[in-house]
Structure 1
Amino acid sequence: MRKILVVGAGQSGLQLALGLQSHGYEVTLMSNRTPDEIRSGRVMSTQCMFDTALQHERDLQLNFWESQAPKIEGLGVSVAAPGSHDPGPTQRAIDWVGRLNGYAQSVDQRVKMAGWMETFAQRGGQVVIHGAAVGDLDYFSRTYDLVLVAAGKGELVSMFARDPERSPYSTPQRALAVAYVHGLGPRPEHPDFRAVRCNLVPGVGELFVMPTLTLSGPADILFWEGIPGGPLDVFDGVKDPAQHLALTLDLMAKFTPWEYARATKAELTDAGATLAGRYAPTVRNPVGQLPGGGLVLGVADVVVANDPITGQGSNSASKCAAAYLASILERGDKPFDEEWMRATFDRYWATAQHVTKWTNAMLAPPPEHILNLIGAAGQLQPVADRFANAFNDPADFENFFYDPEKTGAYLASVAGA
């Protein structure tokens, strides 16, 4: 029986540990927090998982919350009209919603990671509650056949060198601020249709609103992404959750009044319901070398960390875990050497590269043909639907998004259909 150590108990680390466990591997999981500490802690992310990523969970029978979490049927885009920070009918220059072919869902990672970790332990997996340092891994690498690093923050990430060719940004491109709330009303134009809402405020940033399941039941996530130094970049140093929510709502009233109109009764779901921060999107070398010469393989956002503007973090983590699981199973009893590690990462990068390209494009001011595409989706439902479903499969953006000629030809074909 092959022994594998997974360091980090997020979406990818736990999905991989549970997947390997189900195939008879002897798996040890290292986490810096217990399930109870995770549940009682601060929210860790926004997460909206689309159909492909959800299917990876179903394949491993880990979709414990599927019947409880809101089913998200669409994805809508609204663009604030220039100078329209006054109430009135001209608030939105663009406003549409695309229908997803398969529903999406969001489960608060405090709920999911705590539940999955307890399941892993109940099924006989060894859980070590310990914040791992490089020195610890040096020791463990001699006793395990493979060490996987899935802890995306902290000292361990420094083992994986930044890949400058795949990392165009060296500084954070957005200041992030998250609040989980109860009491958000529906969009009046679609009261029974649950959708992720992407509100774009040109030159300022973005507000995402998404239904979720949290510790106290169904809720919504309010998520600002502010251009650094701009009017949304005001959350640094805000420690009081009530103040964080008040700031969130004030900014909604000013920049997205159509969303603020349904948030007048919003209140935080719990004391840990807010989060703020920023990080530079980075792709790293997937193989880390330990002081003693051992090698470790980076997983998910340890090696490919994109800005959350495209909502891909937990989707990418699920897809990475699925790709790595397949590569480990195929390897049989052969050694997990450096060549295998690089090939395993390349298998994941085949899908991740599309996410990175699209995310980095969305962080920059949109060129004219993209504005035309987003505008056309308001008149042409098939365009809105295709755009929405590309969140599930970002590779499709290659066919109609980046190249002005391909965009033009696609829009002409839909308009003429």
Structure 2
Amino acid sequence: MRKILVVGAGQSGLQLALGLQSHGYEVTLMSNRTADEIRTGRVMSTQCMFHTALQHERDLKLNFWESRAPRTEGLGVSVAGPGSQRVVDWVGRLDGYAQSVDQRVKMAGWLETFAQRGGQVVIHGAAVSDLDYFSRMYDLVLVSAGKGELVSMFGRDADRSPYREPQRALAVAYVHGLGPRPEHPDFDAVRCNLVPGVGELFVMPTLTTSGRADILFWEGLPGGPVDVFQGVKDPAEHLSLTLELMERYTPWEYARATKVELTDAGGTLAGRYAPTVRHPVAHLPGGGLALGVADVVVANDPVTGQGSNSAAKCAAVYLDAILEHGEKEFDEAWMQATFDRYWEIARHVTKWTNAMLGVPPEHVLNLIGAAGALPPVANRFANGFDDPSDFENFFYEPERTEAYLASATGGPADS
């Protein structure tokens, strides 16, 4: 029986560990927190997962909360103009619904499931010296802990990492009491509110520890008017700032948020990080190797909501590659080839995310504007969140955008 060590108990690490476990591998999972500590801790992300990523969970029968989590059937875009008036407002329908499950709920539940199924859980914040030791005991070491000392083992890929500094200041609040959008009260949608020169506000339904809730998520330009959450320790102050900014820049969202309250004392999160692609293989001091997983090797800004989706897709790719490899050695060539398989998916996410972090060119503004009058365009844009590779066909190049819009106005949109 092959022995595999997975370091990190997030979306990718747990999904991969549970998948390997189901195929008879002897898996050890290292987590710096227990399931109870995760469940009672602070929120970790926004994690709206679209159809393809959700299907990877279903394939492994890990969709424990699917019947309880809100079904997000649409994705809407609003653009603020002068005087905080909406100059664009539309919603596209998703081909398959999306869902968000608070990672405190999911990761705690998955970690307990892994242990109940006979997996070995080691509660320990791993250091490089630990991996050096463990690499001699295991056939494969996978690092899916996206922060801290371990990430520094994986060198930055300068050719694929255009940014050295964070491009957004991030602030999240989980709330109860948000009213429905009057435009579509009959179904749930993720709302993407773009405020030029300021940042973005995302609003999405979720399932948290206390049931149905909504997430208010500001992404502010560093040094701008939304970059005010650093050093804020009081959750109530965090929420108050969130609502003040909504009232000022997105009053249409604020109008349904006047009665919200935080879900719990751990329902806020703030931070920032530089989007980075790293080389996938770490060389340990004693000569061993470790393979980076998901955010460790491809960390994009959350402006396109791809983090947990990419993590699920990475885990699925790595699981297939490990199963196909059989009893052969997990050498550096295999590790690089496995990452390259994942990069074929991740490169589209990275390209799209980096494009959305910049000032949108005229043809992209035209596309977003046209979606308000052309439902097929709105639908296609919305479904790009599930399959970002489609943006190659109509988003990046003015000529392709113009050709697509011309075809969309003359009949059904190409897809």
Please give the range of the TM-score, normalised by the shorter of the 2 chains: over 0.9
User: Aligned residue for 2:371?
Assistant: 377
User: Aligned residue for 1:397?
Assistant: 391
Mind listing any 5+ residue stretches in structure 1 that lack a counterpart?
86-90
State the secondary structure of the residue aligned to 1:335. Answer: coil
User: Aligned residue for 1:357?
Assistant: 351
CA apart distance, 1:132: 0.1
User: Aligned residue for 2:179?
Assistant: 185
> Is 1:158 matched up with 2:158?
no
The CA distance in 2 between the partners of 1:33 and 1:381, in whole Å, is: 45
1:109-148: CA deviations, max 9, x gaps?
0000000000000000000000000000000000000000
Map 1:51-90 to 2 at 5 A: 51-81=51-81, 83-85=82-84
User: Aligned residue for 1:143?
Assistant: 137
The CA distance in 1 between the partners of 2:92 and 2:83, in whole Å, is: 24
User: Aligned residue for 2:265?
Assistant: 271
The CA distance in 2 between the partners of 1:416 and 1:67, in whole Å, is: 40
CA apart distance, 1:192: 1.5
What one-letter code is carried by the residue in structure 2 that aligns with 1:55? Answer: Q
What one-letter code is carried by the residue in structure 2 that aligns with 1:343? Answer: A
User: Aligned residue for 2:219?
Assistant: 225
What one-letter code is carried by the residue in structure 1 that aligns with 2:266? Answer: G
> Is 1:295 matched up with 2:294?
no
The CA distance in 2 between the partners of 1:416 and 1:184, in whole Å, is: 39
User: Aligned residue for 1:39?
Assistant: 39
The CA distance in 2 between the partners of 1:213 and 1:153, in whole Å, is: 25
The CA distance in 2 between the partners of 1:207 and 1:268, in whole Å, is: 17
The CA distance in 2 between the partners of 1:108 and 1:264, in whole Å, is: 23
User: Aligned residue for 1:120?
Assistant: 114
1:36-74: CA deviations, max 9, x gaps?
000110000111000000000000000000000000000
User: Aligned residue for 1:5?
Assistant: 5
What one-letter code is carried by the residue in structure 1 that aligns with 2:350? Answer: T
What one-letter code is carried by the residue in structure 1 that aligns with 2:282? Answer: G
The CA distance in 2 between the partners of 1:152 and 1:192, in whole Å, is: 38
1:196-236: CA deviations, max 9, x gaps?
00000001000000000000000000000000000000000
The CA distance in 2 between the partners of 1:143 and 1:131, in whole Å, is: 18
CA apart distance, 1:164: 0.3
The CA distance in 1 between the partners of 2:373 and 2:189, in whole Å, is: 19
The CA distance in 2 between the partners of 1:414 and 1:229, in whole Å, is: 39
State the secondary structure of the residue aligned to 2:353. Answer: helix
The CA distance in 2 between the partners of 1:185 and 1:192, in whole Å, is: 12
Pick the aligned partner of 2:253 from 238, 249, 259.
259
What one-letter code is carried by the residue in structure 2 that aligns with 1:252? Answer: M
Give structure 1 regions of 4+ aligned residues with deviation exceeding 6 angstroms. none
CA apart distance, 1:347: 0.3
State the secondary structure of the residue aligned to 1:84. Answer: helix
Identity over aligned pairs, percent: 83
What one-letter code is carried by the residue in structure 2 that aligns with 1:76? Answer: G
The CA distance in 1 between the partners of 2:96 and 2:410, in whole Å, is: 27
The CA distance in 2 between the partners of 1:45 and 1:381, in whole Å, is: 30
TM-score normalized by the length of structure 1 = 0.98
The CA distance in 1 between the partners of 2:282 and 2:27, in whole Å, is: 20
1:301-340: CA deviations, max 9, x gaps?
0000000000000000000000000000000000000000
The CA distance in 2 between the partners of 1:5 and 1:195, in whole Å, is: 38
The CA distance in 1 between the partners of 2:68 and 2:57, in whole Å, is: 15
User: Aligned residue for 1:314?
Assistant: 308
CA apart distance, 1:378: 0.3
User: Aligned residue for 2:231?
Assistant: 237
State the secondary structure of the residue aligned to 2:24. Answer: coil
What one-letter code is carried by the residue in structure 2 that aligns with 1:357? Answer: K
> Is 1:412 matched up with 2:411?
no
The CA distance in 2 between the partners of 1:16 and 1:84, in whole Å, is: 48
What one-letter code is carried by the residue in structure 1 that aligns with 2:4? Answer: I
User: Aligned residue for 2:26?
Assistant: 26
Mind listing any 5+ residue stretches in structure 2 that lack a counterpart?
none
CA apart distance, 1:189: 1.3
What one-letter code is carried by the residue in structure 1 that aligns with 2:280? Answer: P
What one-letter code is carried by the residue in structure 2 that aligns with 1:128? Answer: V
The CA distance in 1 between the partners of 2:184 and 2:394, in whole Å, is: 28
CA apart distance, 1:101: 0.3
The CA distance in 1 between the partners of 2:401 and 2:83, in whole Å, is: 28
CA apart distance, 1:84: 1.5
What one-letter code is carried by the residue in structure 2 that aligns with 1:395? Answer: S
What one-letter code is carried by the residue in structure 2 that aligns with 1:9? Answer: A
Map 1:305-344 to 2 at 5 A: 305-344=299-338
1:233-277: CA deviations, max 9, x gaps?
000000000000000000000000000000001100000000000
Pick the aligned partner of 2:341 from 333, 341, 347.
347
The CA distance in 1 between the partners of 2:258 and 2:186, in whole Å, is: 19
The CA distance in 1 between the partners of 2:271 and 2:64, in whole Å, is: 30
State the secondary structure of the residue aligned to 2:200. Answer: strand
TM-score normalized by the length of structure 2 = 0.99
State the secondary structure of the residue aligned to 2:327. Answer: coil
CA apart distance, 1:190: 0.9
What one-letter code is carried by the residue in structure 2 that aligns with 1:84? Answer: G
> Is 1:130 matched up with 2:129?
no
What one-letter code is carried by the residue in structure 1 that aligns with 2:72? Answer: I
